[in-house]
């Protein structure tokens, strides 16, 4: 059960609500987000909502049978929109495109890509500076300096930045240079990181774990929301199956199911979803027709020279063609 | 290596080709299909094609590095078209729609569905009469009488029939009433059945096994082709993964990869691919944008009363809406 | 619900039972096996067993909540034993060993292996003559002549034969030369084959499908039992997962779970379960400690020259060591 | 390539080695552990080891073709032993048992379990105080105070402690109360945590990720070793597959394969590996016969009242029986 509190509720009235719930052996978690104050109430007996709804200071009250609560569509059927400023809104019905290299490599590389984004009317740039790599001996990213450099160039061009954060201690140093924090697939159940991202007021995109279920993904989102951050989106990026021809199996089923179970925007990552450059555009297109709110993909001036993920990264021409195709079908979506 | 023979090649000339290949320790399999005569030649040493190409009676010669040969696109880059007559051609660039109930149940049921197909300009009806069921106590289909009844109604309305064949001994009794034989997911590696379907001149659709790899699927197709039947298509119908919310995980990646590896038409089965009625249309649409040549889906006047698979079967209105949507996007595909 | 009938029940009494059940809207399937006559009764309402138990001709009556019935341990808590004659009994508490080559290749090969079996006190020989192969161009086995040759040598040495049957039409020609029919993983849901094997009086070993669930495996066994053949065993042979280092992932969990859910003997196949020769003995041993009633494994005089599966086949010394180790631990099992 | 340096190597000699390697375009990572100093050298050209081996200050030099280096058995064929003091050595040939509750709950609970461990001669206690839970509303453990309390009781009884660490900032506060840090399945690729655990001198047990491959697990271990900590062990705890009857599928194949690829001790976790109490002992036994160096399992006085994982936790009698059985087979292992 989710109780939305009135903003100006008195502490005496809160106390009465708590007492009423605890009398029913309900555990209560208080959640204050950027926008609202909630009580998440979990118990075993069925409570007649009317016996609580009349209490002072309650704005609204919802039954939610899912084990995740705040991210469920059972209480909030309107889809969440995330406003990044400059009229860039995720989840408003037009597909949001996010593009950029796997890793930030150099000033020159960033400037070429920014130019490409501007030309193609893409408003959000992806680019990793902290890179989770299977091998400890591989390139692990340029770190915070790479982010600052990226930020400088993006800012001049009104481009927003999405980049991966790998641990709690990085949040503070990154926050001024980031528009969307990305939680990578390997950290999808790193609960301390999720907790910490719930305590800031910046949008977060959580990727599904490599073998994460839909339920687990929504619970991970619940971690963030329940610590106070409503500006969330979730990302399907392919799952691990027995098929070895592609890096991952893009789970197109997940997109509509997520849209049905949760009010959060759903972003598709076809680059990781199939992992083979030539097939990325078709998966991107398919995911939009399956209901995705946007697409995040990898692009690089010379994919074959990229520090990482070159085999799944589009070059500028391929990227341009994809954007053109998406523009053609935009009204049909 | 695939050698295409001239139709009128003399047996003496064939003998010379065999001798030349066997001198190189190549094993040779002769394949005579409806359309062409081939030799499939497998060996360990590299042969200079020019030393063979000049032999009498050879029409063409191709190197194929894949372990499947005849179904590979490495020797036949043109996509295969399957002509069912009455101007119904699979693989000609327009999406082929196949629709109908999971099981044939009654004359009335069939007549309602045929009417629905005619109205929506769908030219191929699916409908099972031999049903593979997990439990031996479940409804196993109306059998050959159901097929005859279905055939009678379809014929009057110029509708082609696709239906599942489960074992070799059924082929003979079914063949006059069937336009496309379907091999189900559970029989995807039933090699005796595949062999037997290679010996007839009727189109065959092979479904991917529940955990079949792309390679296994193409090898299954090779079984049929190598016994003499070129009129083949393959079907992605969802694979088994760890995710339990949906019946199967529709593998959208497979579609374009199959189109790239093989010249055979690729059909999508969104009904089994997700297994939940309300999501079928979006997966259908997505699969066409991913490159599928057609869609096979389940439809029933009253899905909730269907003998089987009701939960993933569209009703007539949902089906009509899907067809309408596909018509809207047809030119974009 | 399973009703065991008295052998001498009159047709009038049967009729009364049917009428009583059908009055409750139960569907009834009559099953006559080598040993007993049963009625399998499936319905939606709960019947008070006492209202049926008093009817004439009923020997016993059991509630079975599983959707498989006859193979469930819910009605038959005693484990099934399968007597092959010559004092060879599967499921009697001592591990049953079955060994032999992947494929029968030649008289000499068989004679060497038979000698090895005799020397090591192994009473059941495996060996394929009809081979399901991924590629249509691969060696498909020596066929019925290979079986006859194998039979001749085994008979002289009091060795029983287990070999794979791939299709219904083979059963008749094989039956005189086979002691246990094996259903391979790819045919685990080939229901026509299962039906046909239910109609004969020879033991059958069903392998789990490559991605078959426990439930599916037990339903496949139910197919055979419900057609009349109680002499059944089931085999865990590894499942398909994301891990690619080994051919399959031997599912050690399945063994005890199967023993718990079903009264049928459970045989472990470590050769396919891991697919790497050097690891086969440890998996064999582990599976016995996990509760398996026996082990089937591949052995060949010169595995590196075997026509198929050489990489997972033990040589004679490795096989001997395995048998010795198992003898050491026998009393502990 | 791994170069072991002499302890007293001069910085001038190190410089020469670096220069020689960099001349061949090798990247060099210096690793100083508790025991040795290494250079990990990765490059594309093949170097003749003899041209380097003669350089001053080099103790030994090894080619390692695996992409993980220090944890590979290709350079260190002797298995690693981990000495915890008080004669408790992991990997010395006798199975190491670790047992305890999923979560530390109370002083009384701990004292009961400690008593059980002492009685059964188990020297290592497991018990979570920082609990990764799918839901943010679930019990997350008693935290550092729980650990201190546990430590007090264990110390008095000469019992070592293994407990999970979830994030970098916890290491410092935990280190005085912990004998083995456990990295949970969800953090198996939390590289910042692995880095940090490489910088301390306490043994670490890394669990395989829920869908982690063998290669990924060994790379995770390499993270820790390459930061300086050699006192490592790895843990098979079941993987995620399509089978839903059990929580995870214990991958018995992994044990011997890990022992073959790496010199690190391998611990089996049957509690998570199957997730059903009654089957835990058999999987424990099987894993030892498959080659595991030890077993970690969950035990609680009253599993049905445990705060978490009760369904897979043994009670005292079951635990006692398991220990008794293992003692019986000890010499056979």
Q: Is B321 on the interface with A (CB under 8 A)?
A: no
- CA A82 to each of CA A78, A85, A263, A333, C174: distance values in angstroms, whole numbers, following the listed order: 13, 9, 11, 19, 69
> Which tokens belong to B149?
């009844």
**Whether pLDDT at C332 is above 90:** no
Closest chain A CA to residue B248: A253
Question: C286–D282: do the CB atoms touch at under 8 Å?
Answer: no
Looking at the complex, report in whole angstroms how far the Cα of residue A313 sits from the nearest Cα belonging to chain D.
Answer: 23
Among C209, C238, C240, C242, pick the best mutation site for testing chain A contact (most A Cβ within 10 A): C242
Residue-wise pLDDT for C205-214, tens only, equals 999 999 999 9
From chain B, the residues in CB contact with A289 under 8 A are 282, 285-286, 289
Question: B253–A256: do the CB atoms touch at under 8 Å?
Answer: no
Rounded Cα distance, A240 and B274, in Å: 17
**Other Cβ atoms within 10 Å of D258 Cβ, number:** 26
pLDDT for the residue B48: 85
Burial track D5-15 (b if 16+ CB lie within 10 A, e otherwise): beeebeeebbe
**Whether pLDDT at D332 is above 90:** no
Angular region, B222: left φ>0, alpha ψ -120 to 50, beta rest? alpha
Mean local confidence (pLDDT), C170-180 = 98
Mean local confidence (pLDDT), A17-39 = 95
Q: Is C211 on the interface with A (CB under 8 A)?
A: yes
Chains contacting C (3 or more CB pairs within 8 Å): A, B, D
Chains contacting D (3 or more CB pairs within 8 Å): A, B, C
Question: B240–D242: do the CB atoms touch at under 8 Å?
Answer: yes
**Whether pLDDT at A145 is above 90:** yes
Question: C168–B166: do the CB atoms touch at under 8 Å?
Answer: no
Closest by Cβ to A239, choosing from B211, B241, B286: B241
Question: A190–D191: do the CB atoms touch at under 8 Å?
Answer: no
Question: A243–B291: do the CB atoms touch at under 8 Å?
Answer: no
Closest chain B CA to residue C29: B137
**Whether pLDDT at A53 is above 90:** no
Mean local confidence (pLDDT), C121-142 = 95
Rounded Cα distance, D143 and D166, in Å: 11
Instruction: Please name which of B261, B284, B260, B265 lies closest in space to residue B273, comparing C-alpha atoms.
Output: B284
Looking at the complex, report in whole angstroms how far the Cα of residue A187 sits from the nearest Cα belonging to chain D.
Answer: 7
Mean local confidence (pLDDT), A195-211 = 97
Rounded Cα distance, D208 and D217, in Å: 6
pLDDT for the residue C314: 97
Closest by Cβ to D249, choosing from C249, C278, C329: C249
**Whether pLDDT at D47 is above 90:** no
Strands D266-268 and C204-207, sheet pairing: unpaired
Looking at the complex, report in whole angstroms how far the Cα of residue B76 sits from the nearest Cα belonging to chain D.
Answer: 37
CA dihedral of C257, C261, C266, C272, whole degrees rounded to 10: -50
- Mean pLDDT is lowest, of A42-51, A79-88, B22-31, D314-323, for A42-51
From chain A, the residues in CB contact with B279 under 8 A are 253, 256-257
**Domains, chain D, ranges and CATH?**
2-62 (3.30.70.1140), 82-332 (3.20.20.70)
| Residue A296, beta-bridge partner list | A98
Rounded Cα distance, C49 and C69, in Å: 16
Looking at the complex, report in whole angstroms how far the Cα of residue B223 sits from the nearest Cα belonging to chain A.
Answer: 21
Question: D211–B242: do the CB atoms touch at under 8 Å?
Answer: yes
pLDDT for the residue C101: 97
**Whether pLDDT at D198 is above 90:** yes
Looking at the complex, report in whole angstroms how far the Cα of residue D219 sits from the nearest Cα belonging to chain A.
Answer: 6
Residues C55 and C17 sit within 8 Å (Cβ to Cβ): yes
Highest mean pLDDT among A324-333, C45-54, D164-173 belongs to D164-173
On average, the pLDDT of chain C sits at 96
**Whether pLDDT at C316 is above 90:** yes
Tell me the backbone φ, ψ of residue C10, rounded to 5 degrees. Answer: -85, 155
pLDDT for the residue C244: 95
Closest chain D CA to residue B249: D242
Mean local confidence (pLDDT), A304-314 = 94
On average, the pLDDT of chain D sits at 96
- Contact pairs from chain A to chain B, CB under 8 Å: 104
**Any residues with CB less than 8 A from the CB of C38 and at least 6 apart, and which?**
C2, C3, C4, C5, C30, C31, C32, C70
Closest by Cβ to D211, choosing from A166, A167, A211: A211
From chain C, the residues in CB contact with D246 under 8 A are 253, 257
pLDDT for the residue D305: 94
Mean local confidence (pLDDT), C4-27 = 94
Looking at the complex, report in whole angstroms how far the Cα of residue B206 sits from the nearest Cα belonging to chain D.
Answer: 23
Closest by Cβ to C191, choosing from B69, B132, B209: B132
**Any residues with CB less than 8 A from the CB of D93 and at least 6 apart, and which?**
none
Q: Give the ipTM of the model, two decimals please.
A: 0.95
Question: A242–B239: do the CB atoms touch at under 8 Å?
Answer: yes
Closest chain C CA to residue D283: C290
- CA C71 to each of CA C28, C83, C91, C220: distance values in angstroms, whole numbers, following the listed order: 17, 18, 15, 10
What is B99-149 written as a DSSP string? EE-SB---HHHHHHHHHHHHHTT--EEE-BSS---SSTTS----HHHHHHH
- CA A268 to each of CA A98, A130, A161, B240, C315: distance values in angstroms, whole numbers, following the listed order: 10, 21, 17, 21, 51
Closest chain A CA to residue B258: A245
Q: Is B67 on the interface with D (CB under 8 A)?
A: no
Among B185, B238, B242, pick the best mutation site for testing chain D contact (most D Cβ within 10 A): B242
pLDDT for the residue C89: 98
**Whether pLDDT at C189 is above 90:** yes
pLDDT for the residue B49: 84
**Any residues with CB less than 8 A from the CB of A317 and at least 6 apart, and which?**
none
Closest by Cβ to C289, choosing from D250, D276, D289: D289
pLDDT for the residue D53: 87
Question: A136–D216: do the CB atoms touch at under 8 Å?
Answer: no
As to burial, measured by CB atoms within 10 angstroms (0-12 exposed, 13-18 middle, 19+ buried), residue A144 is middle
pLDDT for the residue D312: 96
Q: Terminus-to-terminus CA distance in chain C, angstroms?
A: 34
pLDDT band, residue D333 (cuts 50/70/90): confident
pLDDT band, residue A172 (cuts 50/70/90): very high
Among C66, C134, C238, C239, pick the best mutation site for testing chain B contact (most B Cβ within 10 A): C134
Chain A, 219 to 258: residues with Cβ < 8 Å from chain B are 239, 241-246, 249-257
Question: D191–A226: do the CB atoms touch at under 8 Å?
Answer: no
pLDDT for the residue A21: 94
Rounded Cα distance, D209 and D188, in Å: 5
**Whether pLDDT at C45 is above 90:** no
Q: Is B168 on the interface with C (CB under 8 A)?
A: yes
- Mean pLDDT is lowest, of C51-55, C57-61, D211-215, for C51-55
pLDDT for the residue D60: 95
Closest chain B CA to residue A275: B253
Question: D241–B244: do the CB atoms touch at under 8 Å?
Answer: no
**Whether pLDDT at A263 is above 90:** yes
- Mean pLDDT is lowest, of A49-63, B95-109, C252-266, C287-301, for A49-63
Question: C285–D289: do the CB atoms touch at under 8 Å?
Answer: yes
Residues D5 and D13 sit within 8 Å (Cβ to Cβ): no
Q: Is C290 on the interface with D (CB under 8 A)?
A: yes
Q: Terminus-to-terminus CA distance in chain B, angstroms?
A: 34
pLDDT < 50 regions, chain B: none
Closest chain D CA to residue B248: D242
């Amino acid at each position: 059960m989710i109780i939305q509190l009135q903003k100006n509720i008195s502490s005496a009235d809160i106390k009465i609500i708590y007492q009423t719930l605890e009398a029913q052996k309900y555990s209560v978690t208080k959640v204050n987000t950027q926008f609202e104050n909630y009580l998440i109430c979990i118990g075993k007996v069925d409570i007649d909502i009317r016996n609580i709804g009349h209490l002072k200071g309650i704005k609204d009250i919802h039954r939610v049978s899912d084990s995740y609560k705040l991210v469920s569509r059972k209480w909030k059927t309107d889809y969440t929109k995330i406003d990044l400023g400059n009229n860039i809104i995720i989840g408003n019905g037009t597909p949001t495109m996010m593009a950029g290299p796997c890793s930030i490599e150099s000033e020159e590389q960033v400037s070429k890509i920014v130019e490409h984004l501007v030309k193609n009317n893409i408003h959000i740039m992806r680019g990793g500076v902290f890179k989770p790599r299977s091998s400890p001996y591989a390139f692990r990213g340029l770190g915070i300096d790479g982010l600052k450099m990226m930020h400088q160039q993006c800012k001049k061009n009104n481009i927003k930045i999405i980049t991966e954060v790998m641990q709690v201690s990085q949040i503070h140093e990154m926050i001024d240079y980031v528009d969307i924090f990305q939680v990578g697939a390997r950290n999808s159940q790193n609960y301390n990181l999720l907790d910490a991202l719930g305590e800031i007021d910046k949008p977060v995109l959580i990727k599904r774990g490599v073998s994460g279920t839909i339920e687990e993904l929504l619970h991970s989102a619940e971690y963030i929301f329940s610590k106070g951050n409503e500006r969330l989106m979730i990302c399907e990026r392919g799952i691990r199956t027995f098929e070895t021809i592609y890096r991952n199996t893009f789970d197109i089923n997940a997109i509509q199911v997520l849209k049905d179970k949760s009010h959060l925007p759903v972003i598709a990552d076809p680059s990781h979803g199939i992992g083979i450059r030539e097939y990325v555009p078709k998966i991107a297109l398919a995911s939009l027709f399956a209901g995705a709110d946007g697409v995040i993909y990898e692009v690089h001036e010379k994919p074959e020279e990229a520090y990482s993920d070159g085999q799944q990264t589009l070059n500028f021409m391929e990227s341009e063609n994809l954007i053109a195709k998406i523009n053609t079908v935009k009204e049909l979506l």
